[in-house]
Amino acid sequence: MTESPFAFEMHGIVKRFPGVLANDHVDFASRVGEVHALLGENGAGKSTLMNILAGLYRPEAGEIHVGGKRVSFHSPQDAIARGIGMIHQHFMLVPSHSVAENVVLGLKQPRFFLNLASVEEQVDALGKQYNMSVNPRARIWELSVGEQQRVEVLKMLFRGAKVLIMDEPTAVLTPQEVETLFGTLRDMTAHGHTIVFISHKLDEVVAIADHVTVMRRGEVTAAAVPSKGITKPQLAKLMVGRDVMFLVQKKKSQPGDVVLATDHLCADNDRGLPALQNISIQLHAGEILGVAGVAGNGQRELAEVLTGLRNPTSGTIFLGDQQLDRSTNWMEISQKLAHIPEDRAAFGSVPGLGVSENLILKSFNRPPISTGWSINTASVRENGTRLVKQYNISTPTIDTPARMLSGGNLQKVILARETSGRPNLMIAVHPTRGLDIGAIEGIHNLLIELRDQGTAILLISEELDEIFSLADRIAVMYEGMIVGELPPERANLNTVGLMMAGTKVES
């Protein structure tokens, strides 16, 4: 069998964002008529690379060739003119408009008179051809998410896309919808289309892709490997890599009483699909339980349920002797329960308020910050000055709005606020994501210190190094379940990689 020609090639692509090298001389190419999976953790640079291919970003260095010719894209319109279209995670559809209206939205032609009937016919024909019919007269809001995704695909096909980039297309779909999508993708490749499938879900990659390219921290760690010849654990290993281990000095843990106990905890995600299935964990004072897993396997929902941001559908949570449920006053227990949220800008801080006011977000409702109805300004300032100094937060003044701080300093503000109250339980979600090495080390030491003071820590992280070096016990999550638990001595990339891919390992 002769290999088909390249649909596109990218050579030496470099893209920088403030503080991050998102793509470091990346080469990536895909052949006509294949499904090519681009695999990698969050922040590995997959979406950036594909946004460059789709004309949304301009690379600082590197070349793009389409059909053998060098091209330069200034906008997504340029890319689609060369037959490259991207379907983003968040659909770009107008809910109150019909399918056909959305399909022609943004097209330069026709200028004045829109023959919607003929568009509807064409959309209908396209849908039939690829076995994904959608009523072209239906309004977007009437459609399911799976159908909306089809509209996005049809939109691109209507514009003549030969190469279709799909950014985590299955993240919002039910298992049945995923099956349908995969059928469609196969039909499309049979018609000579090329699909780039961005994902961090190993199962799907193995199920649908012809070739896999793996990225990690802005670089390609495996290029165009045939998916037949590679196993899920191997892929997991390529994804999480084998970087220099962070070495953290720590004593053996001295586990105390049970601080957190959950029993058969279940919860749904934002789409109303089950995200947590029968999670039963016990966490003791003075130990760190590391939760590993590929993103999107329920870690976020677990953290949200434990901190009151999401209601469980069933199961129980105990913090010490106290049961946490709908009737819990979360503000009252916020002293005992610390939370480093996944998205520090969106959840952890109040951007318009000053640093000192951000530092009291969890303690503003009790002495010494407030007495009765009033807030004691002097003690707010004293608290701010003290924590800024103690945690080495670099800020012009303690009244500087939080939005002006860098990511690392903002994280320090959050850590200072959450740890200074000597919490019983700390839920730390990706505490070092996006930070530089120095900041990471400081945060790791702080977490160990907190543990030694008797705090129970649930550490959710995608960085296996972080989990290996910090955790006293390691649990692995897969599809909303804990698939196994290991002591760190027994954990290595192989076993954890297997578990992250859904294989149960006897502990």
Candidates 36, 82, 155, 339: give the one binding other proteins (CB under 8 A).
Answer: 339
Residue with tokens 């009291």: 360
**Min separation Cβ 289 and other proteins, Å:** 22
Task: Give the H/E segment covering residue 330.
Answer: helix 330-333
State how beta strands 219-226 and 211-216 pair.
Answer: antiparallel
Candidates 115, 129, 144, 311: give the one binding other proteins (CB under 8 A).
Answer: 311
Residue 309 lies near other proteins (rule: CB under 8 A): yes
Nearer to other proteins, 399 or 452 (CB): 399
Nearer to other proteins, 175 or 372 (CB): 372
CA angle, residues 380, 383, 384, in degrees to nearest 5:
85
Candidates 244, 327, 374, 506: give the one binding other proteins (CB under 8 A).
Answer: 374
Residue 331 lies near other proteins (rule: CB under 8 A): yes
Nearer to other proteins, 189 or 358 (CB): 358
Pull the structure tokens for residue 43.
Answer: 């922040």
Distance from first CA to last CA of the chain, Å, rounded? 46
Sheet holding 211-216, edge to edge: 84-87, 163-167, 194-199, 35-39, 211-216, 219-226
**Min separation Cβ 353 and other proteins, Å:** 6
Query: Which of these segments, 81-89, 117-125, 163-171, 359-367, binds other proteins (CB under 8 A)?
Result: 359-367
Residue 249 lies near other proteins (rule: CB under 8 A): no
Query: Which of these segments, 28-36, 193-201, 328-336, 434-442, binds other proteins (CB under 8 A)?
Result: 328-336
Residue 341 lies near other proteins (rule: CB under 8 A): yes
Candidates 247, 273, 404, 437: give the one binding other proteins (CB under 8 A).
Answer: 404
Residue 322's CB is within 10 A of a number of other CB atoms, namely 11
Under 8 Å CB-to-CB from 16, ≥6 apart: which residues? 22, 60
Query: Which of these segments, 174-182, 361-369, 424-432, 446-454, binds other proteins (CB under 8 A)?
Result: 361-369
Cβ atoms of 319 and 425 closer than 8 Å: yes
What long-range pairs does 390-393 form, CB within 8 A, spacing at least 24? Answer: 390/416, 390/420, 391/415, 391/416, 392/442, 393/355
Residues 245 and 181: their CA atoms lie apart, in Å, by 39
Partners of 163 in the beta sheet?
84, 194
Nearer to other proteins, 178 or 413 (CB): 413
Task: Compute how many residues bind other proteins; rule: CB under 8 A.
Answer: 40
Residues 497 and 117: their CA atoms lie apart, in Å, by 52
Nearer to other proteins, 102 or 307 (CB): 307
Candidates 231, 278, 313, 370: give the one binding other proteins (CB under 8 A).
Answer: 370
Secondary structure tally for the chain: helices H, strands E: 16, 23
Residues of span 57-116 touching other proteins by CB under 8 A:
57-58, 74-76
Candidates 152, 168, 357, 466: give the one binding other proteins (CB under 8 A).
Answer: 357
Residues 228 and 209: their CA atoms lie apart, in Å, by 9
Cβ atoms of 236 and 62 closer than 8 Å: no
**Min separation Cβ 80 and other proteins, Å:** 14
Residue 350 lies near other proteins (rule: CB under 8 A): yes
Nearer to other proteins, 77 or 118 (CB): 77
Residues of span 23-62 touching other proteins by CB under 8 A:
56-58
Residue 349 lies near other proteins (rule: CB under 8 A): yes
Write out the residues near other proteins by the rule CB under 8 A: 56-58, 74-76, 307-311, 329-332, 334, 339, 341, 346-353, 357, 360-362, 364-365, 370, 373-375, 377, 401, 403-404
